[in-house]
Amino acid sequence: MALGDTYRVLGLEWFQIHFTENPGMAFGMEFGGDYGKLILSVFRIFVVFFIAFAIRKLIQQKASYLLLTCIGLIFAGAVGNILDSVYFGVIFSHSGTFHVPEVATFMPAEGGYAPALYGNVVDMLYFPLFEGFWPEWVPYFGGKYFLFFQPVFNIADTAISVGVGLAILFYRRFQRELDPPTPVASETETANHAPTI
């Protein structure tokens, strides 16, 4: 597929494979050009090591499978995006631009389009579920066109989103699981520490 090409899964309008490359963070946000890209890649690697350390500690504490699954999904998604940014630019030629798309070549003789840590992350899942216009009475957006769901994302992003969503949903349960129980003072200890008048 060339950059911007779309394939309808099972002929469905609302489920498409849409090939795009994301040079930055979620939803294509970028900062700082090449230095920003390098800082982002190194930051992702540090976060992955931190999450791996946290998973190891949680296993030692015999955390629930649900908590380990949440953290594991976030870890797997982060690793997937790191692998894309580390290797995609090294092993593929440039995909062109949306105006002049090209089909990338795997392992080109002249080398990839970017050095390690500078590659783009590939996004491909696109779910344009419905579209329309905002009602006129809606402040700021009134009368404007909208498409839901517009972002294009990948399986790694899905893993991170599901992991974070489950963590938010079961936050109180995880908090009780991770917080050590407060010891209950016996009646004698309470009597000994009672203030005297």
Read off the pLDDT of residues 154-166 as tens digits, 9 standing for 90 and up.
999 899 999 999 9
CB 3 within 8 A of CB 92: no
Q: Does the pLDDT value for residue 77 go beyond 70?
A: yes
Distance linking the first and last C-alpha atoms of the chain:
83
Domain total of the chain: 1
1 belongs to a structural domain: no
What band does 181 get if pLDDT is binned at 50, 70 and 90? low
pLDDT in tens, 96-131: 887 788 888 888 888 888 888 888 888 999 999 888
Q: Does the pLDDT value for residue 69 go beyond 60?
A: yes
69 belongs to a structural domain: yes
146 belongs to a structural domain: yes
Q: Which of 5, 34, 123, 179 is catalytic?
A: 123
Active site residue 5: no
22 belongs to a structural domain: yes
Check residue 101 and give its pLDDT. Answer: 82
Q: Does the pLDDT value for residue 186 go beyond 60?
A: no
What band does 59 get if pLDDT is binned at 50, 70 and 90? very high
Active site residue 179: no
Q: Which of 5, 34, 84, 157 is catalytic?
A: 157
With CA atoms as reference, report the closest residue to 22 among 102, 95, 116, 77: 95
User: 119 is in which domain, residue-wise?
Assistant: 6-192
